[in-house]
Amino acid sequence: METHGKLSRRRLLVRSGMVVGGAAVVAGAGLPVAYHLHHREVGPAYAARKQTAKGTLTDAEYIIQCGTLAASPHNTQPWKFSIDGARILVFADRARHLGAADPERRMMLSGVGCAIENMAVAAEALGHRLAVDALHADERFERDGLCATVRLVPGAAGATPLFFPALFERQTTRLPFSGGGGAIEALRQAFARQPLFPGVEVAYAVSAADHAGVDQINLDAVQGFVTDRAQYDAGMEWYRITRAEWEQAGDGIAIFTSDAPWFIKTAVELFVTPDDLDGPDFIQGEIDHVARVSAATPLWGLIYGTQPTNTTRLLAGRVLERFYLEATRLGFALHPLNYAVERPAEAARLRTRFGLKATDEPLVLFRAGRAAERLGNSVRRPLQTVIL
Ligand SMILES: Cc1cc2nc3c(=O)[nH]c(=O)nc-3n(C[C@H](O)[C@H](O)[C@H](O)COP(=O)(O)O)c2cc1C
C-alpha cells in the first residue's frame, strides 16, 4: 500500500515534468528558496572541510585529511595512504572505480593526483615542503595501486601558502557561468602561471567557433554516454538518492550539489526510487544539464598528456586541482565535464578542436567562469577509513 502511494505520487511528478534528471532545471528555477541553504552541513561527512587547523592530528594525518578534500571522479575518493615516519605512501584504492565509465582508470589516477596536490598545499601551510620522492603508478598501479612516495621536509616551505584557505572552499560548481567582463582572460593568465609537469599540457578554446564546437562535442558525448548502458549504469553506482544515504556513505554524487531548484531536490529525496535512476527522466535531465551549462561557459580548458602513461594521468590531476584552487582563490568557479574525454569518438574530436596531436591524450575537459551562487558541499569519508 505504502509503495503504491509513493509510486503514484512519483508518477504524478514525473508526468507533470517535475522529476527531471540528475541535475535539471525546470520552470521556477529562480525561486528564491535554495534548498541547500537550509541544510546545515553538520556531522562526520563534512568534518574534514571544517577542520581548518591541525588540532590533535599529527602533521601527516592532517596533510592526508586535506588530501581527501580534493576532487575525484564521481566523488569516488579512490585513494588510501600509509604513514611511515616522515614518508607517506599514496595508493589508488582500485576497488573504488567507475567501471566502464573510466575503463582505463585514467580519471581514477587523476583523482589521486588531485589529492597529492592538496597534500602539497597543506604541507606548506604547516611549514613543510612535500617532496615527491617517487612516482610508481606505471609499475605498481596494476599490482597494488601504489602511485607515489612523498616525504615531509620540515621547515622547507617555499612561498606563503596562498592556496591553503581554498582547500576548504573549493567545490565543483555545476552552474551556468558568466565571464565577469574581461576577468575571464585574467583567470586564463592565472592558470598559465601555474606550474605544469613533464608530459602535461593545457589548451584553451578561444574563438566562438571553438566554443560552439565544444558544445556540440559535449552534447554528442553525453547522449552517447547515457545510451551506453555499461557506462551509464557504472556511473549511477555512485549516485546517492537521499541526503541521509549520501552522508552515511560519505562518498558518491547526489542531486544536492547540482543546479536543480529546491523543489526538485525535495522531490528526488522523497519520491525517486533506484529504478528511476536509469529511467527517461533522469537521463533527459542529465542531457539538458550538460547542454545548459556547456552553453554558459566563458572559458574551456583541456588538460592533456603528451604520453599515455599512468604517471602523466596522475600529474594531470595535480594540475586540475591547482586550477580549482587558483579559481577558488580568485573568486571563480570550475567544473570538469569529462563525458567527451571518456568517449573515444568525441575524444578524437576534442583533439582536433583544441589543436592536439593524434598521439596526445585528452585527460580533463573543464569549464570555468563566475558563478552567481555557491552550491552545497560534497561529502567525505572519515580519515580513519583511508589510512592503512
Ligand atoms: C578526473 C575528474 C573528472 C571529473 N569529471 C566530472 C564530470 O564529468 N562532471 C562533473 O559534474 N564533475 C566531474 N568531476 C568532479 C567530481 O564529481 C567532484 O570532484 C566530486 O563529486 C567531489 O565534489 P567536489 O569537487 O565539489 O568536492 C570530475 C573530477 C575529476 C577529478
pLDDT number for residue 159: 59
The full set of domain ranges for the chain reads 1-388
Residue 382 burial by CB count (10 A; 0-12/13-18/19+): exposed, middle or buried?
Answer: middle
CA of 303 to the centre of ligand 1 (A): 14
C-alpha 304 to ligand 1 mean position (Å): 16
Q: How many CB atoms lie within 10 A of CB 328?
A: 20
- Which three-class secondary structure state does DSSP give residue 212? helix
- pLDDT at res. 228: 94
Three-state secondary structure readout of 215-257: HHHHHHHHHHHHHCHHHHHHHHCCECCCHHHHHHHCCCECHHH
Which atom of ligand 1 is nearest to 114's Cα?
31
Q: 3-state DSSP: the chain helix, strand, coil percent, rounded to 5? A: 45, 15, 40
- Cα-to-centroid distance, 235 and ligand 1 (Å): 12
CB-defined site of ligand 1, < 6 Å: 71-75, 107, 110-111, 114, 171-172, 174, 253, 257, 320, 335-339, 364, 378
Tell me what pLDDT residue 182 has.
Answer: 82
Largest Cα span, the chain: 66
- For the chain, list residues with pLDDT below 70: 1-38, 156-160
The amino acid present at 364, given as its one-letter code, is V
Residue type, 131: A
Q: How far is the CA of 75 from the centre of ligand 1 (A)?
A: 6
The runs of H, that is alpha helices, within the chain are 2-15, 47-50, 59-67, 106-125, 137-140, 164-169, 183-192, 208-227, 229-236, 243-249, 262-271, 280-295, 310-329, 344-353
* Res 35: pLDDT: 47
The alpha carbon dihedral of 54, 58, 63, 68 has a sign of: negative
State residue 1's pLDDT score.
Answer: 35
Q: How far is the CA of 335 from the centre of ligand 1 (A)?
A: 7
CA angle 364, 368, 372 (to 5 degrees): 140
d(CA 164, CA 195): 17
What pLDDT sits at residue 280? 87
Q: Do the Cβ atoms of 93 and 145 come closer than 8 Å? A: yes
Q: Which atom of ligand 1 is nearest to the CA of 173?
A: 26
State the Cα–Cα distance between residues 77 and 375, nearest whole angstrom. Answer: 20
CA-to-CA distance for 64 and 115, rounded, in angstroms?
A: 8
**pLDDT tens track for 202-211:** 999 989 999 9
Q: What is the pLDDT of residue 97?
A: 97
* pLDDT score of 23: 39
Instruction: Please state which architecture CATH assigns to domain 1-388.
Output: 3-Layer(aba) Sandwich (3.40)
Alpha helices in 126-173 (DSSP H): 137-140, 164-169
Using the CB atoms, write b or e for 270-303: b if 16+ within 10 Å.
ebbeeebbeeebbbebbbbbbebbbeebbbbbbb
Contact 84, 150 (CB under 8 A): no
